[in-house]
Structure 1
Amino acid sequence: MRYSRELAYAAAPDEVFAMLADPAFREKVAAAQQVVSVTVTATPAGTGVSLVVDQVQNTAGLPAIAKKIAGDTTQAVVREEWSDPRSGTIEITAPGKPTRAAGTVTLVADGGATKLVVDLEVTVKVPLVGGRLEKLMTDNIDAGLSVEHSVGVSWLKGDR
């Protein structure tokens, strides 16, 4: 299932990239998402960054079919490989689970602002219910990006 989203930030692309590459920002986003635990690793890679956000999420509120696969908590690992401060790849996996989202992340200058563009292909390899679970996964990704955007807007205004 394809998923695409654009988020606008009132800052230059370099400022948005610096925020996205900052482990403290990612930890603040995880706290706002009320994850059980999070480990963030950021490793400079040329002009870009290799970023891994490894988190344990509570599955309370998920439909029974999803909880049957995920359990009471689930591990989500987000890997972003920014080749430069404008573009990279993103992969979201749940180790041991038949789920994966992979695609691109791009920062686009828009006047004095920046658009963050996320394009993903979401797959859940479970017979008969995979499509329903893909929709649920995209809804969760969308909700997570909404929280990240809210925290990001505040972060760029100095709320750190």
Structure 2
Amino acid sequence: MRSHSTVKLTMKHDFDHPIEEVWAMFSDPKAHVAKFEAMGHHNIEVITEEPSDDGLRMVIKRNTDLDVPAIAKKVLPSSPLVTTDDVWMDKGDGTYGGHFDVTMDGVPQKTKGSTLITSNDDGTTHYEIEMDVSIKVPLIGDRIAKASKGELEKQINAEFAAGDAWLSRA
């Protein structure tokens, strides 16, 4: 019997803005709060905000309403308290990126990932997110992992849309 299951997910998006504008967004604490607001998260609280000359670290807690798969309703809350520890850095080579950890109170899940933004030849910016989600639920962990992949994709697509909206206002 496996005690945990892992979902690996890579998602990509091109922002219709130059990398300097996209980097300005990701290094602005207000943009991160606005992103979660636009994604429908609530009770947003900034725990740590550490801007530096070459990046930003933010720890944010908030509640999010999830579309919990039927198989998981007994073990996963529908509105968990989510904490993200997000680090963005200037890599010094014209690219930017970082890493993040996500935990959800009452959810036997750990999420770790990385981010990267690079400039496209046409002046737009390519954004890539890679994540590993580990779900620790005996017997049904694999089924929860497969069912939760759609929710993860929905959340990341909402993040992409929030970024597009932020950049269109800038």
TM-score range, shorter chain: 0.7 to 0.9
- Higher mean C-alpha deviation, range 98-107 or range 71-80: 71-80
The structure whose Rg is larger is 2
| Partner SS state of residue 5, structure 1 | strand
1:3 aligns with 2:6: no
1:99 deviates by 0.3
Query: What corresponds to 1:56 in structure 2?
Result: 63
Write the mapping of 1:13-32 to structure 2, written as runs, cut at 5 A: 13-32=19-38
* Conserved? CA contact 1:52–1:78, under 8 Å: yes
Query: How many angstroms does 1:72 deviate by?
Result: 4.1
Unaligned runs of 5+ in 1: none
Identity %, equivalent residues: 25
Matches within 5 A, 1:3-152: 3-40=9-46, 41-59=48-66, 61-84=67-90, 86-111=96-121, 112-152=123-163
CA contact (8 A) 1:45 1:83 kept: no
Give secondary structure in 2 for the equivalent of 1:14: helix
- What's the secondary structure of 1:121's corresponding residue? strand
Question: Residue 64 of structure 2 aligns to a residue in which SS?
Answer: strand
CA-atom RMSD, angstroms? 2.0
For structure 2, the 5+ residue unaligned runs are: 1-6
Aligned residues between the structures: 158
Q: What do the CA deviations read for 1:65-92 (whole angstroms, capped 9, x no partner)?
A: 3232222420111221123260211111
| Distance in 1, Cα, partners of 2:37 & 2:89 | 27
Shift of 1:22: 2.4
TM-score (norm 2): 0.81
- Runs ≥4 residues deviating over 6 A: none
TM-score by length of 1: 0.86
